């Protein structure tokens, strides 16, 4: 996922691994000391884009999501554990590198965050026909 943050008048984008919850929140694991981590702490408004970069440019059907929302740290042992489990399911192979104990006890430099989408633009001509995309404002 590409995540966009802003500080003052200067936008910034970063690439992050993500997971999606059943209630459409996006979960990321990132370093709060990174540039985007610092910007998220002062301005929780973010934009994001999710797509398969392997789609051919001339593909008849392009699939992806663009959106905006607010980001906040996930708080509490149970919430962090659930978020990390969802993140591990979406990003297999990282289970031993970053554990719930690491995140909760701040052993690692990474923290769990969730994005609550406010606006989603979903591209998929197979679903939307000639409109090519659907919009969901939450």
Strand partners, 114: 27, 72
Q: What is the CATH number of the domain that holds 72?
A: 2.30.110.10
Quote the pLDDT of residue 58: 63
pTM: 0.84
Tell me the residue range of the domain where 85 lies: 2-137
In 3D, which of 115, 128, 6, 130 has the Cα closest to residue 50? 115
Mean pLDDT per 10-residue interval, the chain, length 138 residues: 94 94 91 94 96 74 91 89 89 83 69 94 84 85
Quote the pLDDT of residue 108: 61
Total count of domains within the chain? 1
Q: How far apart are CA 110 and CA 125, in angstroms?
A: 37
Q: How far apart are CA 110 and CA 80, in angstroms?
A: 12
Quote the pLDDT of residue 107: 53
């Amino acid at each position: 996922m590409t995540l966009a943050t802003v500080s003052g008048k200067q936008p910034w984008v970063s690439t992050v691994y993500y997971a999606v919850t059943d209630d459409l929140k996006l979960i990321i694991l990132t370093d709060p000391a990174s540039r985007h981590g610092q910007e998220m702490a002062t301005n929780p408004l973010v934009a994001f884009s999710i797509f398969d970069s392997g789609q051919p440019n001339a593909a008849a059907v392009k699939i992806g999501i663009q959106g905006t929302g607010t980001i906040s740290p996930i708080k509490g042992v149970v919430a962090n554990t659930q978020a990390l489990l969802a993140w591990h399911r979406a990003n297999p192979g990282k289970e031993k590198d970053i554990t719930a104990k690491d995140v909760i006890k701040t052993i690692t430099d990474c923290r769990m965050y969730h994005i609550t989408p406010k606006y989603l633009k979903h591209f998929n001509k197979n679903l939307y026909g000639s409109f090519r995309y659907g919009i969901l404002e939450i």
